């Protein structure tokens, strides 16, 4: 497994080294930004991950809330397992 991780790391590292040419991004109202291509790609990936997490956060929270409510509704009626008297408290 570590060999696969090392191969992936070196592949991505070589990709980053081969894509250091500056690119210029043109925004609205005449603003522009110049940065290495690998940095722009990394920032776009980061923004995509953050947007994905933000979109999935409400459904995750709702599912967690439902699971907690189910646990609470059956938690007080559940039998308590007997303890072994040979082991102290």
Residues 6+ apart with CB under 8 A from 38: 15, 16, 19, 20
Q: Is residue 54 part of a domain?
A: yes
Task: Give a yes or no: residue 3 inside a domain.
Answer: no
Cα 80 from Cα 73, distance rounded (Å): 15
> In whole numbers, what is the pLDDT of the chain averaged over residues?
84
Tell me the residue range of the domain where 39 lies: 16-62
The answer to whether residue 72 sits within a structural domain is: no
Confidence band, pLDDT 50/70/90 cuts, at residue 77: low
Task: Read off the pLDDT of each residue in 55-61 and give the average, rounded to a whole number.
Answer: 93
Report the predicted TM-score, pTM, of the whole model to 2 decimal places. Answer: 0.57
Would you say residue 21 lies in a domain?
yes
* Segment 32-51 mean pLDDT: 90
Residue 58 lies in a domain: yes
Place of tokens 């894509």: 19
Number of domains making up the chain: 1
Q: Is residue 82 part of a domain?
A: no
Dist. CA 62–CA 58, nearest whole Å:
6
């Amino acid at each position: 497994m570590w060999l696969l991780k090392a191969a992936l790391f070196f592949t991505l590292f070589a990709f980053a080294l081969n894509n250091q040419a500056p690119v210029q991004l043109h925004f609205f109202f005449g603003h522009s930004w110049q940065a290495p291509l690998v940095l722009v790609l990394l920032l776009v990936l980061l923004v995509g991950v953050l947007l994905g997490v933000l979109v999935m956060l409400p459904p995750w929270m709702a599912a967690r809330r439902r699971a907690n409510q189910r646990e609470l509704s059956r938690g007080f009626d559940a039998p308590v397992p007997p303890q072994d008297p040979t082991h102290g408290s």
